[in-house]
């Protein structure tokens, strides 16, 4: 594979063809914040927090670094007024769901995000999809998935698979940046194995 | 059925069809598109057949059930050929007269004709009706004259001659060159030059390539693609096959929404017929070129109109856009070069090949060539599908073709480009429609929806409506779109309820910026447009809602009130009897009063009050006048006392 030379935040960075800007930056010790990224998983491009400015032939563009491929002569700026403003808004939007998530609080400090900018939402889930993708791509079990779409989109354990697979795995739990995952699992377990009395009463 | 093996055989076959058709034989064409079907064209067709049989004319008259004629406001529509007598809003009870008078005695039935609203003149011929007269129906025109279920009808109007020409007289490069030269731009939304898209796929090294028809038309109010696919499916197949030949593809897909059952049915019939005749399949027209087409029904997600989401759905997965920065014409369906164009774009291709790029480019503006079909809906007199050359002023579409705003109301704005488009105000009505012109005005061409709004439409509420639509249709994958829209909808709803506060506009702008710059796909990136364009032209309406708690269009329920002007009320009891909430107090000879606590603001009293009294008033942003004291409510009618 041929070597690629690009510039990130004024620093010459060597990368391999096929790498993403995020990978190249991290290999050079440059930090770009992410929420939905995981080394073992295919890039998802969902949280958009890793947005950066790239300059190609004099044209500046905003791209997400977790999927944008490196190229020779590419100029990357991981921080700018615009990038910071977008990250701040993304964090504020997410903190309507998970105002106490440690990772979000740390990032909020960095970007000056107000955790109370928006009214609180009922669900903690920030839809990073780490659990869903880890279960599908690494464990190949598909015990947890997304259901519905748009603002009604939620993560949900598939009871039949979850009751069989999850108890001894739970590898997705530490991946979750919020409390949503464990809560969803507890709910699924409760639904799937109701106490004997309610089982007969449900009439199903 | 026979198979046609060469262009020469095709021409011979075509002559055979034409020689069996007597151009002077009466033919009744009946619009049977979805819109006319809904207004009863199925019953009319049955009556026509029965009546012709009854009057013993079966051998002397043809009936042709065609696709959409476009003038949906006046459906079901009948056109009687060869005279082209045009009848509107036909019901089964009109059929006996049509057969006995017009078909037998060649007499025109006045009551079924179109009446010009200005001159009150009756118009006999389709081509003289203002709605049609001011259009240029290059792509849509054949819809009214062919039965979409008959390939022979399509051949009779010259169908598949462009395919024969491309395969026998032109190299793939020449076909591509012609389409590039025509500067045909995608009719589905983005307006990307089709030729450049094709070229990218053609030059991609991967040998297996695909061509795809995007028939996942999902904009509220837009239905031109449905009408084309239902009414002239062979034109789309022919265009698609030519495109496949140009880029070197041997497999095509039609992604059509399952909510379009008639389109699905007609395109499937068309594919079977084309396969039988040898326009699809192996060795098409003896050229050695192979091509097959597969129909895929979409499950009804707006986002699947987005190219990468559509391809993901075609692969059998949940229709979510891909995050990759690679064009799908290079890495598309199953990772292979894939040309995706929408229905109308493909339908333009046979015309360009047959008549040439030079002919095509004579229509339109510098940047936008050819014609565009718009669906004209909303507060407009002539609802329907209209095709005009690019560059036609909006004013002409709305007034000359659309017949203006009904009910003497004043025009306020036209929303173009679907949910991701924007609203264009009255002072920009001279704008010539084209891809770049509409974008500059803060809207877009989109797929060509045009929703006309009058003075009673609240622009804040319009913006709330479209954001609500998008909130529902967002796939929910990326934060700026899912969470941004969620918050925008909350804020906009609050504003329409009179709970808006200072800073709301700025917050909406800030969220819009994030969605525009950071969302994953075109849906999210353009999602703030309904807000941004209404803010650009109607900021005063937002401010009135927030600061004065007033809805200038008198539309937002939470901000309006109804009251009865005691000086005008004649105590006629009409509104009192009609009020579903029993909120009107009064009686015979007692001036009526609206009980504000009970009033649900349905507007029934406002509609019911006879215009000569006009006693019911609708107000916003001002206190409701206190009711007239009980003692003063009795009306003494001098004239009746005598």
Q: What is the mean pLDDT of residues B82-89?
A: 92
Token pair recorded at residue B493: 């709803």
**How many whole angstroms separate alpha carbon A179 and alpha carbon A103?**
12
Distance of residue A200 Cα from the nearest chain B Cα, in angstroms: 36
Q: Could you tell me whether strands B27-31 and B78-81 are parallel, antiparallel, or unpaired per DSSP bridges? A: antiparallel
**pLDDT at residue A184, as a whole number:** 73
Helix (H) or strand (E) holding B7: helix B7-19
Q: How many CA atoms lie within 13 A of A65 on its CB side?
A: 27
Query: Percentage of chain A surpassing pLDDT 90?
Result: 69
Residue A161 sits at the chain B interface (C-beta within 8 Å): no
Q: What is the pLDDT of residue A190?
A: 65
3-state DSSP assignment of residue A66: coil
Q: Which residues of A touch B476 (CB under 8 A)?
A: 127, 146, 148-153
Q: What is the pLDDT of residues A142-177, one digit of tens each?
A: 999 999 989 999 888 888 898 888 888 889 988 998
Q: Give the separation between CA B565 and CA A138, rounded to whole angstroms.
A: 73
Q: What is the mean pLDDT of residues A181-193?
A: 70
- Which of A49, A69, A150 is the closest to B476 by Cβ? A150
Interatomic CA distance for residues B130 and B116, integer angstroms: 8
User: Residue A202: pLDDT above 70?
Assistant: no
CB B391 within 8 A of CB B432: yes
Q: Are strands B338-342 and B251-257 parallel, antiparallel or unpaired?
A: unpaired
Q: Is B356 on the interface with A (CB under 8 A)?
A: no
Q: Look at residue B85 and tell me whether its pLDDT is greater than 90.
A: yes
For chain A, say whether B518 makes contact (Cβ under 8 Å): yes
For the residues B109-126, what does the mean pLDDT come to?
A: 91
Torsion B363-B368-B373-B377 (CA) sign: negative
Residue A204 binned pLDDT confidence (cut-offs 50, 70, 90): very low
Best of A59, A65, A87, A89 to mutate (most B CBs within 10 Å, chain B): A89
Answer yes or no: do B479 and A93 touch at CB < 8 A. yes
B330 CA: distance to closest CA in chain A (Å): 15
- Is residue B609 pLDDT above 60, yes or no? yes
C-alpha angle with apex A71: A69 to A76, nearest 5 degrees?
80
Residue contact A44–B480, C-beta within 8 A: no
The pLDDT-based confidence of B447 (bands split at 50, 70, 90) is confident
pLDDT tens per residue across span B528-539: 999 999 999 999
Given a cut of 80, whether residue A182 has pLDDT beyond it is: no
Q: Rounded to an integer, what distance in angstroms lies between the CA atom of residue B611 and that of residue B614? A: 5
pLDDT of residue B137 exceeding 70, the answer is: yes
Model pLDDT, residue B454: 96
Contact B480 A152 (CB under 8 A): no
Rounded-to-integer distance, Cα A37 and Cα A33, Å? 9
Cα distance from A196 to chain B (closest Cα, Å)? 37
pLDDT score, position A197: 53
Å from B507 to nearest chain A CA? 10
Write down the pLDDT at residue A198: 47
d(CA B483, CA B476): 8
Any idea where the domains of chain A sit in the sequence? 3-79, 130-193
Count residue pairs from A and B with Cβ separation < 8 A.
105
If DSSP codes are grouped into helix, strand and coil, which group holds residue A96?
A: coil
- Higher-scoring residue by pLDDT: B253, B407: B253
* Residue-averaged pLDDT of chain B: 93
Spell out which residues of chain B touch residue A67, defining contact as CB-CB under 8 Å.
Answer: 323-325
Average of per-residue pLDDT across B79-93: 93
The answer for residues whose C-beta is within 8 angstroms of residue B253's C-beta and 6 or more apart is B210, B211, B212, B213, B293, B294, B295, B296, B314, B333
The C-alpha of A201 sits at a distance from chain B's nearest C-alpha, in angstroms, of 35
A119 touches chain B (CB under 8 A): yes
Name the token pair of B622.
């001002």
Q: Does B479 touch chain A (CB under 8 A)?
A: yes
Task: Tell whether A63 is within 8 A of chain B (Cβ).
Answer: yes
Say yes or no to pLDDT of B587 above 60: yes
Give the pLDDT confidence score for residue A199 in this predicted structure.
Answer: 45
How big is the CA angle at A118 (ends A112 and A122), to the nearest 5 degrees?
Answer: 125
How many Å lie between the alpha carbon of B347 and the closest alpha carbon of chain A? 33
The answer to whether the CB atoms of B478 and A85 lie below 8 A apart is no
> Of B135, B39, B81, B89, which Cα lies nearest the Cα of B388?
B135
Interface test with chain B among A18, A149, A152, by most B beta carbons within 10 Å: A149
Note the pLDDT of residue B299: 86
Nearest to A153 among B482, B514, B518 (CB): B482
d(Cα B474, Cα B469) in Å, to the nearest integer?
9
Residues in chain B within 8 Å Cβ distance of A146: 318, 476
Alpha-carbon distances, residue B500 vs B492, B496, B497, B534, B548 (angstroms): 8, 8, 8, 16, 10
Alpha helical stretches, state H, B497-551: 504-518, 522-526, 529-547
Candidates B335, B475, B482: best to mutate against A (most CBs of A within 10 A) is B482
In CATH, the architecture of A3-79 is Roll (3.10)
Name the helix (H) or strand (E) containing B132.
Answer: helix B130-133
Q: Is the pLDDT score of A32 beyond 60?
A: yes
CB contact under 8 A, B479 and A48: yes
Angle between the N-to-C axes of helices B261-277 and B233-247, in degrees from 0 to 180, rounded to the nearest 10: 60
Distance from CA of B474 to the nearest CA of A (A): 4
Distance linking the first and last C-alpha atoms of chain A:
59
Concatenate the DSSP letters of all residues of B323-378 into one string.
--SS-TTTS-GGGS-EEEEEHHHHHHHHHHHHH-HHHHTTSB-SSSBSEEEEEEEE
Flag whether pLDDT at B491 surpasses 70.
yes
Residues on chain B touching A153 (C-beta within 8 angstroms): 475-476, 482
pLDDT at B119: 86
Q: pLDDT at residue B640 above 70?
A: no
Residue of B nearest to A120 (CA): B487
The verdict on B471 touching A (C-beta cutoff 8 Å) is: yes
Nearest to A126 by CA among A54, A51, A34: A34
The predicted structure's pLDDT at residue A195:
54
Domains and CATH numbers, chain B: 24-81+85-124 (3.40.30.10), 151-360 (3.40.50.11540), 371-454 (3.10.20.600), 459-547 (1.20.1440.230), 557-641 (3.30.70.20)
Nearest CB to A151; choose among B303, B476, B518: B476
- Tell me the mean pLDDT in the region B268-282: 97
Integer angstrom CA distances of residue A66 from A23, A36, A45, B184: 7, 9, 7, 35
Q: Are B249 and B339 spatial neighbours (Cβ–Cβ below 8 Å)?
A: yes
Residue B215: closest CA among B149, B249, B261:
B261
* Chain A nearest C-alpha distance from B494 (Å): 13
pLDDT tens digit sequence for A64-116: 999 999 999 999 999 999 999 999 999 999 999 999 999 999 999 999 999 99
pLDDT, position B1: 57
């Amino acid at each position: 594979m041929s070597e690629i030379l690009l510039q990130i935040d004024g620093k010459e960075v060597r990368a391999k063809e096929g790498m993403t800007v995020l990978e190249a930056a991290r290999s050079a010790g440059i930090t770009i914040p992410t929420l939905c990224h995981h080394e073992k998983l295919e890039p998802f491009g969902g949280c958009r927090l890793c947005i950066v400015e790239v300059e190609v032939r004099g044209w500046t563009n905003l791209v997400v670094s977790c999927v944008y491929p490196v190229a020779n002569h590419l100029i990357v700026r991981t921080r700018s007024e615009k990038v910071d403003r977008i990250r701040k808004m993304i964090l504020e939007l997410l903190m309507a769901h998970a105002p106490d998530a440690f990772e979000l609080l740390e990032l909020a400090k960095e970007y000056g995000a107000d955790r109370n900018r928006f009214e609180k939402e009922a669900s903690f889930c920030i839809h990073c999809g780490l659990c869903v993708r880890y279960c599908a791509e690494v464990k190949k079990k598909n015990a947890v998935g997304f259901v519905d779409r748009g603002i009604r989109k939620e993560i949900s354990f598939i009871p039949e698979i979850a009751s069989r697979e999850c108890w001894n795995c739970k590898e997705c739990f530490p991946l979750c940046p919020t409390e949503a995952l464990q809560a969803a699992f507890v709910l699924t377990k409760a639904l799937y194995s109701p106490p004997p009395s309610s089982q007969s009463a449900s009439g199903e | 059925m026979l198979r046609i093996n060469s262009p020469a055989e095709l021409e011979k076959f075509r002559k055979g069809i034409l020689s069996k058709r007597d151009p002077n034989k009466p033919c009744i064409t009946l619009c049977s598109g979805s819109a006319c079907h809904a207004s009863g064209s199925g019953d009319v067709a049955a009556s026509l057949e029965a009546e012709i049989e009854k009057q013993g004319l079966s051998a002397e008259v043809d009936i042709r059930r065609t696709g959409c004629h476009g003038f949906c406001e006046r459906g079901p529509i009948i056109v009687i050929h060869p005279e082209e007598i045009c009848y509107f809003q036909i019901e089964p009870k009109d059929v006996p007269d049509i057969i006995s008078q017009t078909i037998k005695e060649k007499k025109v039935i006045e009551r079924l004709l179109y009446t010009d609203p200005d001159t009150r003149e009756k118009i006999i011929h389709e081509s003289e009706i203002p709605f049609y007269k001011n259009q240029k129906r290059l792509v849509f025109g054949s819809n009214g004259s062919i039965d979409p279920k008959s390939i022979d009808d399509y051949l009779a109007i010259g169908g598949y001659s462009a395919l024969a020409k491309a395969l026998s007289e032109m190299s793939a490069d020449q076909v591509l060159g012609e389409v590039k030269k025509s500067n045909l731009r995608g009719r589905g939304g983005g307006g990307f030059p089709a030729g450049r898209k094709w070229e990218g796929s053609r030059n991609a090294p991967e040998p297996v390539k695909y061509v795809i028809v995007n028939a996942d038309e999902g904009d509220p109010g837009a239905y031109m693609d449905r009408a084309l696919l239902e009414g002239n499916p062979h034109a789309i197949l022919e265009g698609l096959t030519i495109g496949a030949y140009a880029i070197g593809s041997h497999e095509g897909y039609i992604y059509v929404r399952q909510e379009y059952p008639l389109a699905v049915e007609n395109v499937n019939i068309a594919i079977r017929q084309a396969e039988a005749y040898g326009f699809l399949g192996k060795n098409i027209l003896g050229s050695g070129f192979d091509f097959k087409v597969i129909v895929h029904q979409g499950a009804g997600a707006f986002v699947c109109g987005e190219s990468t989401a559509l391809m993901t759905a075609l692969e059998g997965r949940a229709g979510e856009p891909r995050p990759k920065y690679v064009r799908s014409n290079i890495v598309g369906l199953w990772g292979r070069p894939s040309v995706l164009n929408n229905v109308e774009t493909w339908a333009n291709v046979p015309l360009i090949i047959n008549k040439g790029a030079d002919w095509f480019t004579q229509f339109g503006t510098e940047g936008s060539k050819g014609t565009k079909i718009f669906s004209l809906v909303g507060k407009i007199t002539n609802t329907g599908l209209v095709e005009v050359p690019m560059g036609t002023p909006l004013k002409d579409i709305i007034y000359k073709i659309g017949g203006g705003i009904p009910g003497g109301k004043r025009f306020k704005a036209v929303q173009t480009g679907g949910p991701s488009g924007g609203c264009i105000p009255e002072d920009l009505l001279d704008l010539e429609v084209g891809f770049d012109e509409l974008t500059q005005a803060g809207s877009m061409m989109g797929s060509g929806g045009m929703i006309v709004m009058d003075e009673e439409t609240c622009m804040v509420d319009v913006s709330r409506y479209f954001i609500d639509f998008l909130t529902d249709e967002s796939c929910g994958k990326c934060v700026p779109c899912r969470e941004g829209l969620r918050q925008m909808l909350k804020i906009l709803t609050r504003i329409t309820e009179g709970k808006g506060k200072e800073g709301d506009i700025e917050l909406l702008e800030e969220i819009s910026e994030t969605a525009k710059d950071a969302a994953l796909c075109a849906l999210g990136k353009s999602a703030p447009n309904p807000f941004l364009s209404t803010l650009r032209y109607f900021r005063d309406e937002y401010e009135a809602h927030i600061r004065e708690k007033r809805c200038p269009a008198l539309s937002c329920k939470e901000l309006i009130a109804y009251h009865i002007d005691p000086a005008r009320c004649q105590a006629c009891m009409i509104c009192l009897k009609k009020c579903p909430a029993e909120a009107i107090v009064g009686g015979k000879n007692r001036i009526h009063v609206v009980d504000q606590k009970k009033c649900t603001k349905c507007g029934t009293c406002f509609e019911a009050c006879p215009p000569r009294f006009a006693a019911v008033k609708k107000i916003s942003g001002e206190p409701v006048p206190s009711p007239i004291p009980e003692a003063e409510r009795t009306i003494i009618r001098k004239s009746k006392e005598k």
